[in-house]
Amino acid sequence: MANQVKISQLLPYLKGSVRGQITKIRYSRSDKRMEPTSIFIPRQESKDLTKKPFLNYNFGVTSKSYYDSQKLVASALFNRIRKIDINTCQEKDIAPFYVCDLGELKRLAVKLRKCLPRIHPFYAVKCNNDSRLLRAIADLGFGFDCASKEEIDQIISKNISPSRIIYANPCKSIPHLRHAKDVRVALTTVDNLDELVKINKFHPSCGILIRILTDDSSSTCPLSVKFGASLKYAKEMIDACKSLDLDLKGIAFHVGSGCNNFNTFAKAVQDSRELFNYAERQGFKMNILDVGGGFAKFSLEQSSIILRNALDSFFPEAENPELIIISEMGRYFSSSCFTLAANIISKRSDPQKERLYLNDGVYGNLNCILYDHQLVQPKVLTSGGQFKYFDNLGTKENHVNSQKTYSIWGPTCDGLDCIISRIKLPYEVEIGDWLYFENAGAYTSVAATSFNGFKSNFTCIYVNSEY
């Protein structure tokens, strides 16, 4: 049958236990036998993070390499597409799909604990609200950064204590604020006096973090254009908290998503110290510092050095034993867990380059190109039905058959639906072949739409390389 991958192509690359794990792949919505809780430490729901220091987790030692993980991801990709006959298949058979390696979370947690041992992460649900991902993150003992009633309810529905939620939206609607009170979410961020008045009326017992302005001009997605109080205004807010008898817990900042100037962390920590000192003079004993997000897996070592040094300088642990330092990490935990595969549904040849049309694009799971300013790098999964994933990993000698130039487009009728305008692929591809995108877990599926009638009916295959 046309464009089918032969299983004999894959097996030579899978050795020992990895080959055996092919039978352990679990599919979403159809297999409940494997839960991510099987490898993570037990939950500890009773801890109130607004009053007690963060827990000292022991994640154990992980011996799994990046390549071990990729071999398991490869087997999941292969098993999903190997029986598809492009000539007779249904639309659902070639729908875009993800492979999520939940084992990656443990490795990321170990790396974070090594680089920033004082920080307790609160996962930003807005980044990726995949249900299995959230459960696995909860089982690591981390908290959650929620920005709406719906996100709060999604976390609470998993029997996660509301004490592990920060309502990290400086501008909340009154119904959402009342709901936070009803479900006992007791920590939020604020950046203006009007919000303090609102909280005093509708949720007066809520703990408050004043969110301050940062210089995030070099970040991929700057946030200070919308949120953040200047130092002068933040001091006015501290005074207002005293007048209104509100529960001021600490200071929060966010250097922007995809931060590129890590010195911004140092300045923000210094400004926070100034406000801690001012609040203490007003009679407050603040004990929470929220360092926000902006972290990425591939730059954590560099950014953590600057942040760690700033924290040790302005908030030395010996002098601040009760200080709880939290972060609002989203991209760091979700991005590298997910691989997205999409099918080539059409092709158009031009003299200079060829156009490829996928069944996913910027209005679907690749909306990160517009929303998050990501530069995605498609790779060839199959060429003429031949499985090429391992060639991309360099597990065998690459015999590059082509260096054709392509532009790659999504399925809608909008000319804006361009995935990448120019790229050279090492293999020729045809209608029915597959491309894949690594690091596809941040700001992708969570914002997919049904524009032009192309519904985001994707599935996710879950594997666990730490199991």
Rounded distance between C-alpha atoms, residue 143 and residue 183, angstroms: 16
Rounded distance between C-alpha atoms, residue 340 and residue 96, angstroms: 7
Instruction: Check: CB of residue 294 under 8 Å from CB of residue 259.
Output: yes
Contacts of 132-137 with C-beta under 8 Å, sequence gap 24+, read 132/28, 132/36, 132/100, 132/102, 132/460, 132/462, 133/100, 133/102, 133/105, 133/334, 133/337, 133/441, 134/158, 135/35, 135/36, 135/37, 136/36, 136/37, 136/40, 136/102, 136/105, 137/105, 137/333
Rounded distance between C-alpha atoms, residue 25 and residue 264, angstroms: 42
What's the pLDDT at 52? 38
Q: List, by residue number, the catalytic residues.
A: 413
Measured at the CA of 65, the angle between CA 61 and CA 374, to 5 degrees, comes to: 115
What's the pLDDT at 455? 85
Rounded distance between C-alpha atoms, residue 285 and residue 278, angstroms: 11
Q: How far is CA 137 from CA 123, 242, 267, 401, 451, in A?
A: 8, 36, 30, 42, 31
pLDDT at 424 over 80: yes
Q: How far is CA 269 from CA 54, 212, 307, 308, in A?
A: 19, 10, 8, 10
Rounded distance between C-alpha atoms, residue 372 and residue 365, angstroms: 12
Q: Are strands 354-358 and 165-167 parallel, antiparallel or unpaired?
A: unpaired
What's the pLDDT at 302? 81
Domain ranges of the chain: 7-101+335-463, 103-333
Q: Which residue do the tokens 């209608």 mark?
A: 431
Residue percentage of the chain with pLDDT more than 90? 65
Q: What is the pLDDT of residues 330-378, one digit of tens each?
A: 999 999 999 999 999 999 988 777 999 999 999 999 998 888 788 899 9
What does the DSSP assignment read for 358-409?
ES--TTTTTTHHHHS------EESEETTEE-HHHHHTSS-------EEEEEE
Rounded distance between C-alpha atoms, residue 411 and residue 424, angstroms: 21
Residue (of 118, 288, 282, 314) closest to 210 by Cα position: 288
Type of residue numbered 127: C
pLDDT band at 46 (very low <50, low <70, confident <90, very high): very low
Q: What is the pLDDT of residues 246-281, one digit of tens each?
A: 999 999 999 865 555 678 889 999 999 999 999 999
- Phi first, then psi, for residue 133 (nearest 5°) are -65, -45
Q: Domain 7-101+335-463 adopts which CATH fold? A: Lyase, Ornithine Decarboxylase; Chain A, domain 1 (2.40.37)
The helix-helix angle for 131-139 and 149-156 (nearest 10°) equals 60
What's the pLDDT at 397? 42
- Phi first, then psi, for residue 229 (nearest 5°) are -100, 140
pLDDT at 13 over 60: no
Type of residue numbered 5: V
pLDDT at 4 over 80: no
Type of residue numbered 367: N
What's the pLDDT at 225? 65
pLDDT band at 456 (very low <50, low <70, confident <90, very high): confident
Of 3.40.50.300, 1.20.1330.10, 3.30.565.10, 3.20.20.10, which CATH number belongs to 103-333? 3.20.20.10
What's the pLDDT at 400? 54
Q: What is the pLDDT of residues 161-190, one digit of tens each?
A: 999 999 999 999 999 999 999 999 999 999
Rounded distance between C-alpha atoms, residue 124 and residue 372, angstroms: 15
Which element (helix H / strand E) includes 196? helix 193-202
pLDDT at 449 over 90: no
Which element (helix H / strand E) includes 341? strand 338-349
- What are the E-state strand segments in 48-204? 97-101, 119-124, 143-146, 165-167, 187-190
Query: In sequence order, what are the residues at sequence separation of 6 or more whose Cβ sits closer than 8 angstroms to the Cβ of residue 24?
Result: 34, 463, 467
Residue (of 228, 254, 222) closest to 373 by Cα position: 222
Q: What is the pLDDT of residues 193-217, one digit of tens each?
A: 999 999 999 999 999 999 998 876 5
